[in-house]
Structure formats: C-alpha cells, structure tokens
Amino acid sequence: MKSQKCYPNNRMRVFHHISELGHLGKPVHLALGVFDGVHVGHQEVIRHAVEAAKHEGGLAGVVTFEPHPIRVLAPERAPRRILASIKHKADLLAELGVDFLCVQEFTLDFSRQEARDFIEDLAQNSGKLRHIAVGEDWIFGKARGGNVQRLREWGEVLGFVVKAAPPVMVQGERVSSTRIRQAIRDGNLPAVKEMLGRDYTVVGTVEKGKQLARQLGFPTANVVAHNEQLPPDGVWQLEAAIDGAHYRAIGNLGRRPTVENENARRLLEVHVFDFNGDLYDKVIEAKFLKFIRPEKKFDSIQALKAQIQADAVSVQE
C-alpha cells in the first residue's frame, strides 16, 4: 500500500487505495467515476457529494481510477491523450470543495472484482459512508454487474444513500470527454469552455532545451505536457500559472520548423511576460485564451525574430 500524499495546495489529501479511507474518522460522502477533465457533467455528480457533506457534516471525497479503465480493458480504443492528469484533477477538485481524492489503481485483477464486493469494500474501508454519487448510467464491476439500481439496493443494506446525476447537455448534445477532446483538437475553444465550465488549461513540467529562443532575445520555457490533449499547432495567447501566481504569456505549440527538422518533438514553448527567475523543473499551468496564427517556417532567423516580436506586441496590447 502506498502512503498518503498531499499536493502543494495543501487543500487536497490524496490516497492511493480505498483501504486508506478508514483513517478519515468522519462521515464520508463520495463521488465515483473517472472524471477525466472534470467537465460540467462530472461537476454535477461531484456537487451531490460536496453538498451532502455541507448539509450533513463530514468530508466530501472523489474515488477515481488510474489508468483510465479503457486503457486496461480495450487499449486499442483508448484515447491517446487525457484532459487532466491526476495532479491537475486534484487541483480542479479542490476548487470544487472536495476534501480528498482516492486514486484506485485499475488493473485486470481489479476489473474482475464483483461489483458488490467493490461496494462492500468501499463501505467497510470508508468507516462512515453516508452517500455515493454517480452518473445515472454508471456501470461498474465484473461483467458490468453494477448499476444505479443495484447500488441503491446495496445502499439500503450497507447504510448509504445513492444520488444519480443525469447527463448534462450543451447545444443539444451530451457533454462527454470524447466530445471535448475533439473540440480541443479542432481548436474550438468556446465550445471547450462551455463544456468544461472554464477555460482550457494544460499542465506541464519545464525541461531544459537548446536555448535557441534565448539567442533570439526571447527566452521561453519548454513545457512538456502531462499527457494532456493539446489544441492545434500555432502561436497562442496564454495565461501562465506558476507557484500560485498568474502571468500574461505567449506560447508556440508545434515542431519549430525554422530551427528544427520535421521529426522534432511537438512542444509547447512559453514566454512569460514580467517574470524573473528560473523555471526549470517547475510545473506550469497554461491557459489557452486566443489563437494568434498558425506555426510556419520562415526563410531566415531574422524573419522569425521579427515575427516573434510582432506576436508579443499583439498579445501585450
């Protein structure tokens, strides 16, 4: 069993097995699901747990699964990119008023557990389980043996109440992580914002690069995304969150064709305005605000430098 961990915001306790929930010592109100992206449909499920904790006392928690179950059960159908890493997800959940997150490892052995056995383990390990909130069509357990109806039946025996949230619709269609990923790939950020309930952000770690941008008089941070879905290549107006502070920024997403070969790794290069300090190994949350122009190959380094300067002026204005 892994030990309890806390993320830097200090508002979110993170556990790595449901057996650890017995340490909480208070009534527990849980939301269950994968919650990739924590979109408006997920938020409706989570809201039930948070409100129950407020009204009845105790702690609101989320139990999620890592990796995404489809990566284990049907890897050929699994999306290549996610909408939010576990670190990112924890931050989003903390903003919604969630007190703790349990990240249950999803393996083939775990997938073969009977649905009722999983719920009984959850109730036993939670100590004082009062509520479980899920989507109304949530299916779980071996051979998809668990659903809302059975969950309610087991709740009557085990002493918890079930809240089932209906799907959330946007523009006549159900909100889903698949739909959001497609909108991100299309660069349709207004649709993404409507389905997420917030601007789209990508979290990544800064790694040391070739410092070519510094030689152009425009230092950038090479942000390696935590396997999160990226929008189309090009120059973007950004907002960068670094150690809790927010800065105006501009970013180039792509393969840098003027200075790299066509096989270069796709990368997000971020220039943070009015920032002084070392960014290496720091985690940056980049909020995508506006598409400026497509990425292109320039005839010379001087032409590239002039365009970078013009892009920066455009964003600052």
Q: Which domains does the chain have, with CATH numbers?
A: 5-174 (3.40.50.620), 199-316 (2.40.30.30)
CA distance 226 to 108: 24
Least confident of 51-55, 159-163, 208-212, 271-275: 208-212
Instruction: Report percent pLDDT > 70 for the chain.
Output: 94
Task: Identify whether the C-beta of residue 293 lies closer than 8 Å to the C-beta of residue 251.
Answer: no
Find the mean pLDDT for residues 281-304: 91
Q: How far is CA 9 from CA 57, 68, 74, 158, 245, in A?
A: 23, 24, 35, 34, 13
Among 118, 132, 131, 126, which residue's Cα sits nearest to residue 25? 126
Indicate if the pLDDT at residue 28 is higher than 50: yes
Q: Which of 36-45, 148-157, 210-219, 241-250 has the lowest mean pLDDT?
A: 210-219
3-class SS string, the chain? CCCCEECCCCCCEEECCHHHHHHCCCCEEEEECCCCCCCHHHHHHHHHHHHHHHHHCCEEEEEEEECCHHHHHCHHHCCCCECCCHHHHHHHHHHCCCCEEEEEECCHHHHCCCHHHHHHHHHHHHCCEEEEEEECCCCECHHHCECHHHHHHHHHHHCCEEEEECCCEECCEECCHHHHHHHHHHCCHHHHHHHHCCCCEEEEEEECCCCHHHHCCCCCEEEEECCECCCCCEEEEEEEEECCEEEEEEEEEECCCCCCCCCCCCEEEEEECCCCCCCCCCEEEEEEEEEEECCCCCCCHHHHHHHHHHHHHHHHC
**Residue 261 pLDDT grade (very low, low, confident, very high; cuts 50, 70, 90):** confident
pLDDT score recorded for residue 107? 96
pLDDT of 8 strictly over 60: no
Which of residues 190 and 11 earns the better pLDDT score? 190
pLDDT reported for residue 213: 58
Per-residue model confidence (pLDDT) at position 315: 87
pLDDT over 70 (residue 179): yes
Output 316 or 259, whichever has higher pLDDT. Answer: 316
pLDDT tens-digit readout, 207-254: 987 666 566 667 888 999 888 899 999 999 999 999 989 999 999 999
Confidence of residue 15 (pLDDT cuts 50, 70, 90): very high
Buried-state track 17-40, b at ≥16 Cβ within 10 A, e below 16: ebebbeebeebbbbbbbbbbbbbb
Whether 162 shows a pLDDT value over 80: the answer reads yes
| Predicted pLDDT of residue 278 | 87
Task: Return the pLDDT at 9.
Answer: 43
* pLDDT at site 216: 65
Please tell me the predicted confidence (pLDDT) of residue 160. 97
- Per-residue pLDDT tens for 131-147? 999 999 999 999 999 99
